[in-house]
């Protein structure tokens, strides 16, 4: 209890310094993907494949109904699919996106917070491209391999990481427990893969914020100084998270 109160006070102080930053350094990338980036590409009647949607599909029941969408859930884990809200998926496919070959018949693929968990992102891009019809769109959100928390995540043993996250972010327990590899998860690598698999980059969004260090204000301040310096050196390669809208033009 005392510990939680202390962490809350540190988070409050940490968000205080963010108030002086511009939007790219202040607005959470995943929130932006959910609220702004992806919704504008949704059109009535589309067939959407939510790759790695599992128990948390991107589209809710109200939006599905309003836009008359057909939603297919594709996930490597059958249990994840089984725990999705009832009726949200019109079809489920239990498959590894790295092995899966689609039928080039979907309008949109959504892939939110999944590719960092995939061992071979090159193969995953091949899978994503195979699902879309020509002109179809892949909407991707991913944390970057270059983010400091990602680098730490790659060296901390899974079990210890889960325990630490459970203490510091109990409210995000639903996200814990998926091993992360961050294979090729940088904006530059994704652009190269997009070209390789016949996509055109339609829109990108880069966000230089994560809350992992906000549990202890001095650490957050140090991380902030580091992230600003890294941004000056590397621009979008220094982003903590990024979103891409990729249009399939061939392959
Ligand atoms: C962190 S969860 C994200 C779930 C949801 N997209 C969201 O944003 O809340 C990662 C999901 O990706 C799935 N996943 C991991 N590797 C996968 C793969 N190779 N192919 C398909 N799904 C995968 C997991 O089973 C899990 O449901």
Q: How many domains would you assign to the chain?
A: 1
pLDDT in tens, 75-122: 999 999 999 999 999 999 999 999 999 999 999 999 999 999 999 999
Mutate to test the pocket of ligand 1, among 30, 52, 102 (most ligand atoms within 8 A of CB): 52
Domain that holds residue 243: 2-248
Q: How far is the CA of 113 from the centre of ligand 1 (A)?
A: 7
> How far does the centroid of ligand 1 lie from the alpha carbon of residue 74, in Å?
9
Q: What is the pTM of this model?
A: 0.94
For atom 3 of ligand 1, which residue has the closest CA?
113
Q: Would you say the CB of residue 59 lies under 6 angstroms from ligand 1?
A: no
Q: Is the pLDDT higher at 160 or at 170?
A: 160
Contact 104/214 with Cβ under 8 angstroms?
no
Domain at 195, CATH number:
3.40.50.150
Residue 185 phi, psi (nearest 5)? -85, 65
Secondary structure element (H or E) that encloses residue 3, with its range: helix 2-18
Q: Is the CB of 96 under 6 A from ligand 1?
A: yes
pLDDT tens, position by position, 118-150: 999 999 999 999 999 999 999 999 999 999 999
The DSSP code for 85 is P
């Amino acid at each position: 209890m005392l510990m939680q109160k202390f962490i809350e006070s540190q988070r409050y102080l940490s968000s205080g310094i963010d108030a002086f930053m511009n939007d790219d350094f202040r607005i959470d990338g995943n929130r932006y993907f959910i609220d702004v980036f992806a919704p504008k590409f949704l059109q009535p009647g589309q067939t959407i494949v939510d790759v790695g949607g599992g128990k948390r599909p991107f589209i809710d029941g109200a939006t599905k109904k309003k836009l008359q969408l057909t939603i297919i859930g594709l996930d490597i884990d059958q249990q994840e699919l089984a725990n999705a809200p009832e009726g949200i998926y019109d079809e489920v496919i239990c498959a590894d996106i790295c092995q899966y070959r689609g039928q080039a018949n979907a309008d949109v693929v959504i892939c939110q917070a999944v590719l960092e968990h995939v061992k071979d992102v090159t193969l995953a891009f091949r899978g994503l491209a195979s699902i879309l019809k020509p002109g179809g769109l892949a909407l991707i959100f991913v944390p970057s391999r270059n983010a400091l928390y990602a680098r730490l995540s790659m060296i901390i043993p899974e079990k210890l990481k889960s325990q630490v996250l459970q203490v510091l972010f109990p409210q995000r327990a639903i996200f814990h427990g998926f091993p992360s590899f961050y294979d090729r998860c940088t904006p530059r690598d994704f652009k190269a893969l997009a070209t390789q698999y016949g996509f055109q980059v339609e829109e990108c969004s880069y966000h230089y914020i994560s809350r992992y260090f906000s549990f202890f204000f001095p650490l957050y301040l140090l991380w902030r100084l580091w992230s600003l310096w890294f941004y000056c050196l590397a621009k979008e390669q220094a982003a903590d998270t990024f979103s891409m809208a990729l249009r399939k033009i061939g392959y």
